[in-house]
Amino acid sequence: RIVYVNGEYLPEEEAKISIFDRGFLMADGVYEVTSVLNGKLIDFDGHAKRLERSLKELSMNAPVTMDELLAIHRELVTKNDLVDGMIYLQVTRGAPGDRDFVFPDPETTPSTLVMFTQSKPGLADSPVAKTGNKVISVEDIRWGRRDIKTVQLLWPSMAKMMAKKAGVDDAWFVEDGFVTEGSSNNAYIVKGNKIITRALSNDILHGITRAAVLRFAAEAQYEVEERNFTIAEAQEADEAFTTSASAFVMPVVEVDGVKIGEGVPGTVAPRLREIYIEEMR
């Protein structure tokens, strides 16, 4: 695999990052994941805009312009013959040459940009989408700026491990009795013609897939209600689903051992998945 590190395309074995990189020492970095279907980038503009926002919120400099970033994405697709899969990008506050809590001067410490591809043949026809995911609820103890896409993913990672241990697919975070989002996706329930999802705030990541799916849902005459919901409400809903750049729209068929509806994907989530893939590919 050919990866990108600070201006260079290299075989992955030759890519090197300083041990003083603040991404490594302090999780001082942000990331994006963009899907690729049949060689085409899905919603690059959305991801580029959110990256710019994440960088700004952390007073971090963009290592390249967004046009250059697009060119690197395309070059990685070409160099790796990527058909279906993802491109991961990470920007960190660079490597100041020592460990210090205080931010280094960006003039002397440029940010680090790393990018690599992940091949997922048949990504759009994932068999899991036909059966749906089972989830458990996990207390949301992440920090208060979940709207910034930082690489600080220890709790999401631990939540996925709890899910795995419980024999299910994923975890939904709960704070003050309400679902915030999934461990790596936004969470929704469906009641009749209505799609319910938590409103945007610092409590959740502003999903790029969320924005597109809600737009398509409105166009398809579904009602969209942005408000908090509980696990109990999800268990009594007609359907549930998640959205993310890597899994698009994914039906959720069980929460904390309770089946949602018949315990199989309903009609709304699969329809939204179809519309999303059709419109974006």
Q: Which residues bind ligand PDD (CB under 6 A)?
A: 33, 181, 184-186, 205, 207-210, 243-246
Q: Exposed, middle or buried, 1 (CB in 10 Å: 0-12/13-18/19+)? A: middle
- Give the 3-state secondary structure percentages of the chain, helix then strand then coil, rounded to 5: 30, 30, 40
Burial (CB < 10 A; 0-12, 13-18, 19+), residue 108, is exposed
Least distance from C-beta 171 to ligand PDD, angstroms? 11
Match 């929704």 to its residue by tokens.
188
Judged by CB, which is closer to ligand PDD: 2, or 200? 200
d(CA 93, CA 99): 12
Nearer Cβ to ligand PDD (80/185): 185
CB of 104 to ligand PDD, least distance (A): 26
Annotated active-site residue 56? The verdict is no
Residue closer to ligand PDD by CB (options 203, 254) is 203
Given 49, 79, 134, 149, which residue is catalytic?
149
8 A C-beta contact, residue 207 and residue 243: yes
Least gap, CB of 168 to ligand PDD (angstroms): 17
Q: How far is the CB of 93 from ligand PDD (least distance, A)?
A: 20
Quick one: CA dihedral 259, 227, 281, 119, positive or negative? negative
Which of residues 77 and 95 has its CB atom nearest to ligand PDD in the complex?
A: 77
Query: Are 54 and 124 in contact, with CB atoms under 8 Å apart?
Result: no
Q: How far is the CB of 191 from ligand PDD (least distance, A)?
A: 22
Return d(Cα 179, Cα 229) in angstroms, integer: 6
Q: Which is nearer to ligand PDD, 112 or 186 (CB)?
A: 186
Residues 6 or more apart from 61 whose CB is under 8 A from it?
55, 106, 110, 111
Residues designated as active site: 149
